[in-house]
């Protein structure tokens, strides 16, 4: 039986800040941000969006009533969760009106969480081929104003519907993975922003890539010539390029040209959204699948997932016949092109807006956010969500 990605949704908030303007405000050269880091725009979330709402907005565009009936497992991957106990998956399950006869759980391992969800989904579907699994990867990336990590922030979510006989991509059974206890990036329970040893995190991302790539080649006998493209976890787009360059000389001139050209396509969405942490690899895959003009059915796509702390994994998938027909390219282009630019001052004000931390109630300005699913406030310590499309 073949198992993999049947549908892919994506959501990012309606506001962004221009990286050239952020560079000027931080007394940096704009080329450092746009070339050295490789980012052009960075998504800015309003206070009415959190990991739950971003994920529900991403899933709403792809699920029909038949999917909702067949989903019996929701796996919500996030490192910006909203509760230490209750799974974000349960809020999403409710907002999406999914079948109550389902399991709903949250998983965490930094930016690797959604990949863990996908691999767990494969196991579940192999036991129950008639069921579907909804994997959500949703995050708001926050390092803090005036920090080196600031240029690698962002916000957004991917929703991946996993099934037997998928229409977009069949995932291979073989996979290479690696875990090591390191402190390259983490967020203690008391902190709203991530702590990071930036250069060390880049080094570990790269060394984990080399480890799992070597293991994958040994396990499968595949080499660069077998891949139409390789997608990377993209905390910022230059990071993926750094990793690709580590192995590119293993290929012929034609392999190099093909893989570098497709890497350019795979970074287009990420460079105008920013780091969406656990969804970032799948945003890059979406960018590749929706924007390429020459990748045929049957092509193999490599996927490198990295979550600080750290876990890395390399796996791959085969594109299915007419895969383009099952993507939502027009919807995504419209969403990205209709976003509003905010000034650096407005971005800073939005960054500094916070929900009460003392248990008090709040009503949020829902009229300012065009998204269907929103956080409308907090009452008696409970988060209040609304889905405008269902009210």
Residue 148 as a binder of ligand CAA (CB under 6 A): the answer is yes
Helix (H) / strand (E) containing 319: strand 311-319
Q: Which is nearer to ligand CAA, 310 or 373 (CB)?
A: 310
Residue 63 as a binder of ligand CAA (CB under 6 A): the answer is no
Q: Which is nearer to ligand CAA, 55 or 104 (CB)?
A: 55
Residue 153 as a binder of ligand CAA (CB under 6 A): the answer is no
CB of 241 to ligand CAA, least distance (A): 8
Give the residue closest to ligand CAA by C-beta: 36
Contact, 150 vs 234, CB < 8 A?
no
Q: Which of 44, 151, 230, 281 binds ligand CAA (CB under 6 A)?
A: 151
Helix (H) / strand (E) containing 1: none
- Identify the active-site residue in 40, 79, 109, 313: 79
Contact, 298 vs 309, CB < 8 A?
no
- Give catalytic status of residue 93 as yes or no: no
DSSP 116-173: HHHHHHHHHHHH-TT-EEEEEEEEEE---TTSGGGGG-EEEEEEEEEEES-SSEEEPS
Question: Site map for ligand CAA, 268-307, x if CB under 6 A?
Answer: -------x-x----------------------------x-
Residue 320 as a binder of ligand CAA (CB under 6 A): the answer is no
Q: ω before 258 within 30° of 0 (cis)?
A: no
Give the closest residue to 115 by CA, choosing from 323, 282, 275: 282
CB of 92 to ligand CAA, least distance (A): 22
Annotation-wise, does 388 bind a ligand? no
Residue 245 as a binder of ligand CAA (CB under 6 A): the answer is no
Question: Site map for ligand CAA, 103-142, x if CB under 6 A?
Answer: --------x-------------------------------
Q: Which is nearer to ligand CAA, 137 or 377 (CB)?
A: 137
Q: Which of 10, 11, 91, 185 binds ligand CAA (CB under 6 A)?
A: 185
Partners of residue 161 on adjacent β-strands: 7, 134
Annotation-wise, does 242 bind a ligand? yes
- Give catalytic status of residue 231 as yes or no: no
Query: DSSP label at 325?
Result: G
- Give catalytic status of residue 111 as yes or no: yes
DSSP 5-68: EEEEEEE--SEEEEHHHHHHHTT--HHIIIIII--SEEE---TT--HHHHHHHHHHTT--HHHH
Phi, psi of 273 (to 5 degrees): -120, -40
Give the closest residue to 87 by CA, choosing from 72, 71, 104, 73: 104
Q: Which of 9, 81, 149, 302 binds ligand CAA (CB under 6 A)?
A: 149
- Starting at the edge strand found earlier in the chain, the sheet holding 373-379 runs 362-363, 373-379, 382-387
* Spatial separation of the C-alpha atoms in residues 243 and 44, rounded to whole Å: 27
* Spatial separation of the C-alpha atoms in residues 349 and 351, rounded to whole Å: 5
Annotation-wise, does 269 bind a ligand? no
Question: Site map for ligand CAA, 16-55, x if CB under 6 A?
Answer: -------------x-xx--xxx------------------
Residue 267 as a binder of ligand CAA (CB under 6 A): the answer is no
Phi-psi region of 295 (alpha: psi -120 to 50; beta: other; left: phi over 0): beta
CB of 29 to ligand CAA, least distance (A): 4
Question: Site map for ligand CAA, 191-230, x if CB under 6 A?
Answer: -----x-xx-xx--x-------------------------
Residues in contact with ligand CAA by the rule CB under 6 A: 29, 31-32, 35-37, 111, 148-149, 151-152, 184-185, 196, 198-199, 201-202, 205, 233, 235-236, 238-239, 275, 277, 306, 308
Query: Which residues contribute to the annotated binding site for (3S)-3-hydroxy-3-methylglutaryl-CoA?
Result: 143, 242, 275
Instruction: Name the residues annotated as catalytic.
Output: 79, 111, 233
Query: Which residues contribute to the annotated binding site?
Result: 143, 242, 275
């Amino acid at each position: 039986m073949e198992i993999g990605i049947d549908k892919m949704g994506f959501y990012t908030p309606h506001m962004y800040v221009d990286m050239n303007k952020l560079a000027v405000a931080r007394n940096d050269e704009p080329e450092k941000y746009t070339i050295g880091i490789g980012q052009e725009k960075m998504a800015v979330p309003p206070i009415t969006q959190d990991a739950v709402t971003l994920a529900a907005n991403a899933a709403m565009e792809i699920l029909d009533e038949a999917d909702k009936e067949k989903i019996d497992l929701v796996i919500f991957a996030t490192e910006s969760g909203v509760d230490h106990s209750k799974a974000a998956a349960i809020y999403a399950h409710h907002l999406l009106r999914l079948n109550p006869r389902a399991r709903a759980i949250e998983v965490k391992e930094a930016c690797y969480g959604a990949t863990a969800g996908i691999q767990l989904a494969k196991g579940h579907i192999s036991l129950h081929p008639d069921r579907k699994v909804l994997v959500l990867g949703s995050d708001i990336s926050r390092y803090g104003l005036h920090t080196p990590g600031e240029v690698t922030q962002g916000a957004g979510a991917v929703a991946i519907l996993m099934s037997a006989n998928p229409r977009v991509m069949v995932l291979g059974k073989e996979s290479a993975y690696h875990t090591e206890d390191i402190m390259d990036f983490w967020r203690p329970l008391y902190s709203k922003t991530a702590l990071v040893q930036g250069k060390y995190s880049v080094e570990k991302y790269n060394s984990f890539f080399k480890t799992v790539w070597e293991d994958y080649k040994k396990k499968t006998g595949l080499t660069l010539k077998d891949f139409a493209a390789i997608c990377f976890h993209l905390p910022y787009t230059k990071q993926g390029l750094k990793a690709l360059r580590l192995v590119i000389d293993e290929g012929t001139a034609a392999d190099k040209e093909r893989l570098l050209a497709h890497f350019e396509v795979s970074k287009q969405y990420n460079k105008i959204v920013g780091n969406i942490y656990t969804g970032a690899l799948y945003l890059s895959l979406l960018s590749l699948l929706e924007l390429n003009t020459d990748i045929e059915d049957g092509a193999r796509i490599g996927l490198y997932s990295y979550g600080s702390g750290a876990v890395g994994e390399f796996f791959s998938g085969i594109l299915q016949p007419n895969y383009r027909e099952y993507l939502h390219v027009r919807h995504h282009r419209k969403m990205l092109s209709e976003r509003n630019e905010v000034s650096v001052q407005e971005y800073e004000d939005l960054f500094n807006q916070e929900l009460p931390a003392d248990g008090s109630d709040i009503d949020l300005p829902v009229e300012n956010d065009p998204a269907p699913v929103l956080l409308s406030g907090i009452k008696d310590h409970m988060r209040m969500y609304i889905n405008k499309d269902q009210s």
